[in-house]
Amino acid sequence: MRTTVFKKLIPITDTTVKDLTQPFLETVQCHALLWSLGILHGDLSVTNLMVDPESKKGVLVDFDLATIVHNDTEGSRPLHGNDRTGTMVFMALDLLNEDNSEQGLERKIPRLYRHDLESFCWVFLWICYCYDNGKLVLHFPFKDWIDVTPTSCRRTRESVLTDLHAAKSRPTLLYVQYGGFSADVVDYWVLFYYRQAKAELYGSRTKFEEPGEIQMLRSILELLPPSPNVEMHTFLLLRGRQ
């Protein structure tokens, strides 16, 4: 008989977590390191971001859907958007388009680092707007993200990108503290998807080059409120994996 013992952790949404920036940043950095080594977590969500109550460090957990990908190994294959469902509420919008939904899986989208980085941003928004005093409180428009098809999930989340005002109608204490970062994150992805859609609409007349992984990671982390207890050291760990 074998027994697996884990150190007791607390959710990142726990009321005892006074600085959300530090554990969130540390889980992002942990994920970045794993990605650079070819380990894809596969299910980024609120419940998989934990905190060590003693060290106050962020811990990324639940690797049940993790995949090891070696692009330079013969016989290996890249991970595609429909290879792992993950938690739909937090999946990147690209992975929830109509061609990649339950009704049509013909178009396989290679899983990129920025898909997971976007998931982290959705998780942060969810925490700030849907958790009050450590409890999940769902209201419009966030309650419309769950129990829906991939296509409708994408559309309801796009509404937050285009109209964050509706989400501010019931601000939580976390929103009051981190609302500035939330708004900056929304602005970042709005601009990203606008440039992407414009390029698809006009084709070769509008050139759109996706930022590199290091550039995207740096851009998002620089939006975070400063946390003196964390060193941003993962930029050199990403080797330009696409």
Convert the pLDDT of each residue in 56-98 to its tens digit: 999 999 988 888 876 544 433 455 555 555 688 999 888 887 5
Q: Is residue 123 part of a domain?
A: yes
Say how far residue 49 (Cα) sits from the centre of its chain: 11
| CATH classification of the domain holding 152 | 1.10.510
Residue 114 identity (one-letter amino acid): R
Q: Note whether residue 242 is domain-resident.
A: no
Tell me whether residue 2 is in a domain. no
* CB 68 within 8 Å of CB 35: no
C-beta of residue 126 within 8 angstroms of C-beta of residue 91? no
224 domain residue, yes or no: yes
38 secondary structure, DSSP code: T
Q: Is residue 5 part of a domain?
A: no
Query: Is 3 within the bounds of a domain?
Result: no
Q: How big, in percent rounded to 5, are the helix, strand and coil portions of the chain?
A: 45, 5, 45
What's the total number of domains in the chain?
Answer: 1
pLDDT at 104: 36
Query: Tokens representing 42?
Result: 């596969």
Q: Is residue 190 part of a domain?
A: yes
Which residue is listed with tokens 């190994």? 73
What are 188-208's pLDDT values in tens digits? Answer: 888 888 777 766 666 655 555
Query: Whole domain around residue 149: which residue ranges?
Result: 10-237
Instruction: Name the pTM for this structure.
Output: 0.82
Does residue 105 surpass a pLDDT of 60? Answer: no
User: What pLDDT sits at residue 182?
Assistant: 80
State yes or no: pLDDT of 180 exceeds 50: yes
In a domain, 225, yes or no: yes
- Which comes out higher in pLDDT, residue 46 or 218? 46
| 34-53 pLDDT per residue, tens | 988 888 898 999 999 999 99
Crossing angle for the helix pair 213-221 and 173-202, nearest 10 degrees?
150
Within 8 A by CB and 6+ apart from 98, the residues are 104, 151
Q: In angstroms, rounded to a whole number, what is the distance separating the alpha carbons of residues 187 and 198?
A: 16
pLDDT band at 12 (very low <50, low <70, confident <90, very high): very high
Name the amino acid, one letter, at 76. S
Cα 80 to Cα 111, 122, 186, distances in angstroms: 5, 20, 25
